[in-house]
Each structure stands twice: as C-alpha cells, then as structure tokens.
Structure 1
Amino acid sequence: MKQYFPAPLFQRAFFASLLMLLTFAGIAETKDIPATCKMDCMTPYGQVLGKDKSGVTGYSNCNSDCVIFEPNKHDGTYTGIKWQCVEYARRWLLVNKGVVYGDVDYAIDIWDKIDHYRNVQWDEKVPVTNHVNGSETAPEPGDLLIYAKVMFGGTGHVAVITEVDEKKGIVRVAEQNNLNQQWPSTHSREISLIKNGNQYWLLDGYLIGWKRAGI
C-alpha cells in the first residue's frame, strides 16, 4: 500500500534538506578561500567593483596579498588567475581587441618579456611597442600601463587605459587588484596627463610606461 506525506510535512522536509545542502556548500566554499583572502579586505573577494565603457567587469581581489590559483576563461580563452591585475588586462584586450598576451609570472614581466600579442581568431602574432613615461608618443585607449617591480613586493602592476582627455589633462584606467575599491564610474581611477614640450608624462608613481598593440 502506497504512503503519502501530507503536503505541509513534505514541503518542510524538502526545504530543510535544501537549506542543509546550501549551508554545507557555503562552508566548503569558504574553506577554499585562504585566510589572506578573507582578512583586511578592502572589498570582499570576487565582488564586482565596476565595469568600463566596453562592459568589461572588474572584480575585487580582497587585497594585494591574496592569491587563489583558480583560472578564469572568457569564451573559452584563458585570461589568467582570478582576480589579478594581469587577468583583467588580458581579458580587456581579448574583449576589445581580440588579442591576448602570453603567460607571465608577474605584471612587470609584460614590459620586457612580452614582444607580441596573439590574435585569438587567426592565431597570428600582433606586434607591440613600449613607450616609456615621458616619451613623445601620447598614451591612447587600449594601451597597457606597466608599473615597476617595487609595487606590491616585486610583482609590479598593470592597468588598461580606457579614456584619454588631453584637454582636461587626464587619462582614465580600468584594473584589478590595485585599490580593490568600488569604481567611481566606468573607470577605477584617473591619472593626470601633462605635455612638456614634445614629451607626454603620466603623473603616477612607479609607472614605467605604456605598451601598445600594432592593431
């Protein structure tokens, strides 16, 4: 003879089981996050910080000491380790230019170890050029700003120029794992730009220069 649970009893049992599963899943997920990624966070790890005008989302890395070796992909293409500065720059180039750069240990390595990007669709090399801060080549949207090794204990930093306004004397950038704060708008921060004679200077500490794809 078949037995049936009364509807209210069945519903209570179902929701209790579901709540237990969600609780255990949350505990397991929390245990996977190391202590350095849960303490002294400017914003919680993985929280959306903002989007640039092209819609590329920046995520919080908690603080600059946090490293979780979890790879991220965009449309099947590897972009880097979540949510490092190198990952954002590579993802931005992929979305906006259709190119990526090769593996690097640290952001500083993009300056002298990356001599080309790769077109993902055609698997072709794309030439790149380096322009030191103070060069006669003005920064442009899509350039990568590369910062010296002294930043973040020897890793350096990379950010993407998303807007340039020479009249106002500013550039706007998007990035991950620098301030790890909510973006004020469609950019993470603004940097002052001045022209002295034929030289262009971005007034930002430890900035080496900007890297440009020949697209």
Structure 2
Amino acid sequence: MNHVLERNVAADGYNLGLKYQCVEFVKRYYYEYFNHKMPDTYGHAKDFFNPDLPDGNLNKQRNLIQYKNGSLNPPKLGDILIYKPVITNPYGHVAIVSKVNLSEGNIEIIQQNPGPFSESREIYLLENKNENWFIKNERILGWLHKI
C-alpha cells in the first residue's frame, strides 16, 4: 500500500501515473479501453472530484461528466468512482464500475491497490431515494462518466 514504483508513461508520452497505484489503474484503463487522455495528467485520487462543480457538468481537468453521490443519474458501466480521503489514506481512492444492476440495487467495482482491508472487486448497494441515486458507501464522493 505504501510502496510506490516509477511513473508509468504510455508510448506517446502520456502520464498514466505511479505504477500500481489506483490512479494509474484508472487512467491506464481509460487510455487503453476508451482512448481517453485526461487534460490534467497529475494529481491524487481525491483530485479527480471537483466539489465546486454542479452535478452533471463537465469536469474539465478530466474531460468527463461529473456526478455527485446522490445524483439524478445512476453510475454506469465503466464510470470512475471517487472516494474521499480518510485518516489512513489522505490521497483518496478511485475505482472502475464493472457491473451495474439497477433492478437488484447494486454495483460491482474493480480497483487496484485497495489497501489491506479490501478486495480488488467489491459490491456496493445502490439506492434510489426521491429520484436520486446513492451508492451506499460513505467514502464515495461521486463518479465520472465518459461523454
């Protein structure tokens, strides 16, 4: 968890992040799967979420649409979840939504370097309250969606 290797850089020079950290996993996935390059190639996981941005607006640093936990829009397959920092991890965390099951009220996420108490895949409850979608995890700030 506290081990950091060298920076991972794509063949074209795009900064993917520090090897085997959560940010590197998410950026590498978006780069390879979606051919997406984030305008701001640096920053910790917590920096992926802009708290001043209204729900459903473009996060210009990531060139993705940002939704808060409690949005009118549920998370979708491939979205990036952003977790707030905690005392044991002041950098925050990011993960990818790997499955969405609205009828059963849950999502599955995949993640890299989740820490000593989590698995690389986890399932969270997803709840719709008054037309707003909430992932039942107090650490989740929101999610980013590719346009």
TM range (shorter): 0.7 to 0.9
Rg comparison, structure with higher value: 1
- Residue 75 of structure 2 aligns with which residue? 139
- Residue 143 of structure 2 aligns with which residue? 210
- Residue 54 of structure 2 aligns with which residue? none
Structure 2 stretches lacking a partner, 5+ long? 52-58
- Residue 111 of structure 1 aligns with which residue? 49
Contact preservation (8 Å) 2:17, 2:42: no
Residue 85 (structure 1) aligned with residue 22 (structure 2): yes
Among 93, 96, 101, which residue is 1:160 paired with?
Answer: 96
Range with bigger deviation, 106-115 or 93-102: 106-115
CA shift for structure 1 position 81: 1.0
Q: What TM-score do the two structures reach when normalised by structure 1?
A: 0.57
Contact preservation (8 Å) 1:108, 1:155: yes
Contact preservation (8 Å) 2:65, 2:144: yes
SS at match of 1:129: strand
SS at match of 1:112: coil
CA deviations 1:112-156 (Å, max 9, x no partner) are 296154xxxxxxxxx422111011111101211111122643201
- Residue 95 of structure 1 aligns with which residue? 32
CA shift for structure 1 position 86: 0.1
Range with bigger deviation, 159-168 or 101-110: 101-110
- Alignment-mate amino acid for residue 79 of structure 2: D
CA distance in 2, matches of 1:80, 1:156: 15
CA distance in 2, matches of 1:71, 1:83: 9
CA distance in 2, matches of 1:91, 1:204: 25
The answer to which structure has the higher helix fraction is 1
SS at match of 2:43: coil
Contact preservation (8 Å) 1:91, 1:100: no
- Alignment-mate amino acid for residue 8 of structure 2: N
- Residue 130 of structure 2 aligns with which residue? 197
- Residue 150 of structure 1 aligns with which residue? 86
Among 60, 71, 76, which residue is 2:7 paired with?
Answer: 71
Contact preservation (8 Å) 2:15, 2:41: no
- Alignment-mate amino acid for residue 81 of structure 1: L
- Alignment-mate amino acid for residue 21 of structure 2: Q
- Residue 49 of structure 1 aligns with which residue? none
Residue 174 (structure 1) aligned with residue 110 (structure 2): yes
What RMSD in Å do the two structures reach over aligned CA positions? 2.4
